[in-house]
Structure 1
Amino acid sequence: MENKLVVGVIGLKMGKNHLEAAIKYGAKAGAICDTLESTLNAVGDEYNIPADKRFLDYRDVVDNKDINAVIIATPDQLHRQMILDFLAAGKHILCEKPLALTRDDLKTIIAAVRKYDHKFMAGQICRFTPAFVKAKEIIDAGIIGDLYYVESEYAHDYAHILGDPENWRADPIRHGVIGGGCHPVDLLRWFAGDPEEVFAYGTHKMMPHLCYDDATISVLKFPNNIIGKVFVSIACKRNYTMRTLIYGTKGTIICDNTSSTMQLFSTEDEGRMAAKPQIIEVEVNDHNAVREFAVFADAILNDTSIEMSAGEGAKTVAVCLAIVESSQIGKPVNPDYNF
């Protein structure tokens, strides 16, 4: 069990939020790393990180024995090797979603996590979004009864990002369902369990220069007679949202990650629906890195387990891979959770 945290942050575009969260928690910033020197120095100057703790090569952080925890917020394609190197060097790891992009990488990562006795957290941030946390509390309390249908979406416009075919998000192996769709997939897994079967269709009208579909809809069969739907669009012309609907035998929740309120429809005596839904106020925080890091840090300092483990991260990607496969072959696919 560690008695202090000295953290290295790898990749400072998304990693900047993680750095700030670590500092707010009280951890020491032992190193920051980015391949763009301008980004490295801008973030370093903003957070008063000494010049000798700024690195362009992550391997310099691997070799730093003072650092006991790292946050990997790099392009997804780089996760596997970085995870292997940091685990072998004795570091605890918080890795941004998705854990990896291929089944081979997932299996290699899971094997390494099992080999080394270090804490590992897959950064599925929606499990810390206030509206979704509240929805989970309502579900677990039985307020809306037994679930029978759940749906969520990842509606985002990447046009300003993916206009450049050299952008890492345009990589053929980083399908939008894996890179962005892992958010709603993981959320529905959290609410309803691991899908047993998926069926999907994709379309490719908005960004024809990409090598993968830019919109996908999938139907999911969950345990306990629950069905679900996930919609992913990475080029939709609307504001970003993860609108989510959760239907139970006694009520319904409507929420998202960008609104300050959510709705709870519930039943009164004799099963009649209440005349009006309950409006629940929630904090708007769709990237709650502060809470995420606190869970990671507490697990290290108190030697407790982490719900969002490497195995959980791998299961979410397994469902995403099954959705992509189904959309390509036109048949239902059973996600493979064996790693």
Structure 2
Amino acid sequence: MIRSKVVSVGLIGLGGMSNFYFGNISQINPLQVSAICDTNQELLNNIGQREGISQDKRFIHIEEIIASPDVDAIISVVPNNLHAKILELCILHQKPILAEKPFTLNFEEAKNLNKLYKRNPIPCMVGFIHRYTPSFQYAKKLIEENIIGQIRYIDVRYQQSFGAPLFNVSYLWRFNKEVTGTGALGDLGAHMIDSARFFVGEFHSVSALMETFVDKRKDPITGEPRHIDVDDFTSFHAVLGNGVVGNFVTTRNAIGSSNQHEVTLYGDFGTIHVNIERPNEIDIYVRGETEEIPVLKSERVPEIYDKTILGDFAELIINKQNQDMPIFEDGYKNQKVIDCIITSAEKGCFVKVDSQEVLWEKVKSISG
């Protein structure tokens, strides 16, 4: 059981995602946001005043809030190029952290962090929030109960529409490779990778395709077009644990898809389908005792599967429990798969994840 002690949380990054944490953390005993950090002084003061956070608990510099003796734990909601730095500082100052995904900007950063973490581990969670969707939690239980038998194939999609030319979205940090690392792959694809690992197991090999549909967007400051160097679309095939094969597609250019992350698991005896846009429902194709063939059954998810990432973060800090939580290792392995997907797309080859070995090249260069 979680003790009644208050865990003083420092929130780094006051952009749009911070509203999710401000809106939900008050419901989680014993977490309490007591300090905030952002480089935008006006935003810092406005939110500090709104949330009743005193002036001395409003920080401009990241290391100061992490090092503060009045801060017990950190929640980080910042652009991708700051992820590794904040994780490193939390390890050095031994502060528990809930960090955003993707884990780091690239796998080199992830490898360096992993070495540091192994010497000085801390309670660490990564924000793979979609595994906390009630239908995902329930599906995990049904899989463990062998309801659909051995899983043979998993189909995972994560599609949004905001990047399509129809909406004429201006240039922003998510389109800048130096800040974000990748486009749809790191933003949405990281969740697909986590969902597959959550349901099925580890990735063994990948074969990928990455495309940029909109290669220029207008700079909102200068009005001039800026080149886009990250992906709008990524698809990949994979082989996972127990020989499960997977098909994955992600894009931010799918008109009609608001926030459509869905997973379909095909087993020997049936199929399970979940979608975050229907968080409390699950589709199951199984054969009942009186049926000759499987039939579709849409079920309401029992309330016991409604848990939150913030609740688990509190549990990890106080009771050190981490069963099925997205912890440091999950972030590290996720980033490794992302790196293999990029390598596969760039080289036109299958890549083995464990060793990052090229298994088969589609095109071989011929030197004179």
Task: Tell me, yes or no, whether TM beats 0.5.
Answer: yes
Could you tell me which residue of structure 2 aligns to residue 15 of structure 1? 18
Q: Is the 8 A contact 1:318 1:337 kept in 2?
A: no
Q: Are residues 1:302 and 2:319 paired?
A: yes
Could you tell me which residue of structure 2 aligns to residue 251 of structure 1? 270
Taking the aligned partners of 1:258 and 1:166, their CA distance within structure 2 comes to 26
Paired residue secondary structure (2:230):
coil
Decide which structure has the larger Cα Rg and report it: 2
Q: Give the letter aligned to residue 21 of structure 1.
A: N
Taking the aligned partners of 2:154 and 2:113, their CA distance within structure 1 comes to 30
Q: Give the letter aligned to residue 24 of structure 1.
A: Q
What is the deviation of 1:38? 3.6
Could you tell me which residue of structure 2 aligns to residue 122 of structure 1? 126
What is the deviation of 1:126? 1.5
Q: Are residues 1:148 and 2:152 paired?
A: yes
Task: Pick closer, same or farther for the CA change 1:220–1:69 going to 2, 3 Å.
Answer: same
Q: TM-score, normalised by structure 2?
A: 0.83
Query: Which residue of the other structure, out of 220, 231, 236, is the alignment partner of 1:213?
Result: 231
How do 1:1-339 and structure 2 match up within 5 A? 3-13=5-15, 14-26=17-29, 27-159=31-163, 163-171=169-177, 173-208=181-216, 209-239=227-257, 240-259=259-278, 260-269=280-289, 272-274=292-294, 276-282=295-301, 291-305=308-322, 307-336=325-354
Q: Matched residue pairs, number?
A: 333
Q: Give the letter aligned to residue 7 of structure 1.
A: V
Taking the aligned partners of 1:309 and 1:199, their CA distance within structure 2 comes to 26
Task: Pick closer, same or farther for the CA change 1:305–1:254 going to 2, 3 Å.
Answer: closer
What is the deviation of 1:162? 9.1
Q: Give the letter aligned to residue 19 of structure 2.
A: K
Taking the aligned partners of 2:40 and 2:135, their CA distance within structure 1 comes to 35
Unpaired segments of 5 or more residues in structure 2?
217-226, 357-368
What is the deviation of 1:103? 1.4
Paired residue secondary structure (2:34):
strand
Q: Give the letter aligned to residue 189 of structure 1.
A: R
Q: Give the letter aligned to residue 16 of structure 1.
A: N
Percent identity between matched residues is 24
Taking the aligned partners of 1:120 and 1:162, their CA distance within structure 2 comes to 38
Unpaired segments of 5 or more residues in structure 1?
none
Taking the aligned partners of 2:310 and 2:157, their CA distance within structure 1 comes to 25
Q: Is the 8 A contact 1:207 1:214 kept in 2?
A: no
Paired residue secondary structure (2:316):
helix
Q: Give the letter aligned to residue 195 of structure 2.
A: L
Deviates more, 1:194-203 or 1:66-75: 194-203
Paired residue secondary structure (2:152):
strand
Taking the aligned partners of 2:70 and 2:316, their CA distance within structure 1 comes to 19
Deviates more, 1:74-83 or 1:34-43: 34-43
Q: Which has the higher contact order (CA 8 A, sep 6+)?
A: 1
Q: Give the letter aligned to residue 32 of structure 1.
A: I
